[in-house]
């Protein structure tokens, strides 16, 4: 089969980009979307043209590196599937497919379809961690974890941090991502010591990056390759509200915030 691509090309963050059309060489319908791009790039290279830059790593749906907005939908036509797990058999011979980068002010374009998602890393650095003792590995079952909390934490931990939620949201909001991380750690006993500090710090970092706010449209949940639930945003809001009222534990009332 062959398809036609209308793909975003931009040589660097500073110069304006534009769509460019390419016809693919003959491709196997069982190729993944990324393999199709590989074939297109080889073809471009053989003609002495610049290949299309796109992000990818594991190609098995677990790392969150692949991105792309395919025909208007982050990660392509399917539900609960990342771009790297999307196959060309989902398209028809001769289709025109529009391929764009994730668009959000905090995700500046580096080149073509590659965007800089370090904003997510900075949010994680602000609070997406727990403190552990170094030394021997503790016994795996030493800390009892209620089954319900373990299951919910696992659901939240599914998040691979790809940024599709931001790309799909009409407000380019990162709340689904941040709430998954806040909930994943906040649900487990190991995450309790920093629970309040974490949610305050991560929300502050999220706002600082310039992501939008949630208007509960549900688009993020609908495109998430890991089907993270919107309920985690409620959970984050509750944690945030409680932390706002309680302040950070261990800090004297009225103590300077810079201390």
Q: Which is nearer to other proteins, 69 or 162 (CB)?
A: 69
Q: Which position among 215, 241, 251, 255 is part of the footprint of ligand HEM (CB under 6 A)?
A: 215
Between CA 39 and CA 107 the distance in angstroms is 27
Q: Which is nearer to ligand HEM, 49 or 215 (CB)?
A: 215
Helix (H, G, I), strand (E, B) or coil at 22: strand
Residues 206-235 that bind other proteins (CB under 8 A): 206-207, 210-219, 221-223, 230-231, 233-235
Alpha-carbon dihedral 57, 59, 65, 68, rounded to 10 degrees: 120
Sign of torsion, CA 129 133 138 143? Answer: negative
Between CA 174 and CA 165 the distance in angstroms is 7
Residue 223 interacts with ligand FES (CB under 6 A): yes or no: no
Residue 84 interacts with other proteins (CB under 8 A): yes or no: no
Sign of torsion, CA 133 136 140 143? Answer: negative
Choose among ligand FES, ligand HEM, other proteins, none what residue 221 binds, the Cβ cut-off being 5 to 8 Å by kind. Answer: other proteins
Give the largest Cα separation in the chain, rounded.
69
Nearest approach, Cβ of residue 102 and ligand FES (Å): 13
Residue 163 interacts with ligand FES (CB under 6 A): yes or no: no
Site string for ligand FES, 72-111 (x = CB under 6 A): ----------xxx---------------------------
Residue reference for tokens 């710090």: 201
Binding region for ligand FES (CB under 6 A): 56-59, 61-66, 82-84
């Amino acid at each position: 089969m062959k398809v036609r691509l209308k793909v975003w090309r931009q040589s660097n963050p500073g110069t304006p980009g534009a769509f460019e059309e390419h016809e693919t060489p003959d491709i196997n319908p069982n190729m993944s979307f990324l393999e199709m791009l590989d074939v297109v790039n080889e073809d471009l290279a053989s003609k002495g043209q610049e290949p299309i830059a796109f992000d990818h790593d594991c190609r098995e749906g677990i790392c969150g590196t692949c991105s792309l907005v395919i025909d208007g939908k982050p990660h392509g036509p399917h539900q609960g599937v990342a771009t790297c797990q999307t196959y060309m058999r989902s398209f028809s011979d001769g289709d025109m497919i529009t391929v764009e980068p994730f668009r959000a002010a905090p995700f500046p374009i580096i080149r073509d379809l590659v965007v800089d998602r370090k904003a997510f890393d900075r949010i994680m650095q602000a609070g997406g961690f727990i403190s552990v003792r170094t030394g021997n590995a503790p016994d795996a079952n030493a800390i009892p974890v209620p089954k319900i909390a373990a299951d919910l934490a696992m659901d939240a931990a599914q998040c691979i941090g790809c940024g599709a939620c931001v790309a799909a949201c009409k407000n380019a909001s990162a709340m689904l991502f941040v709430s998954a991380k806040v909930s994943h750690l906040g649900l487990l006993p190991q995450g309790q010591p920093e629970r309040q500090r974490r949610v305050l710090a991560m929300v502050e970092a999220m706002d600082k990056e310039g992501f939008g706010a949630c208007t509960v449209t549900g688009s993020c949940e609908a495109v998430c390759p890991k089907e993270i639930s919107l309920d985690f945003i409620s959970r984050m809001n509750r944690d945030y509200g409680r932390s706002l009222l309680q302040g950070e534990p261990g800090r004297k009332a009225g103590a300077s915030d810079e201390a």
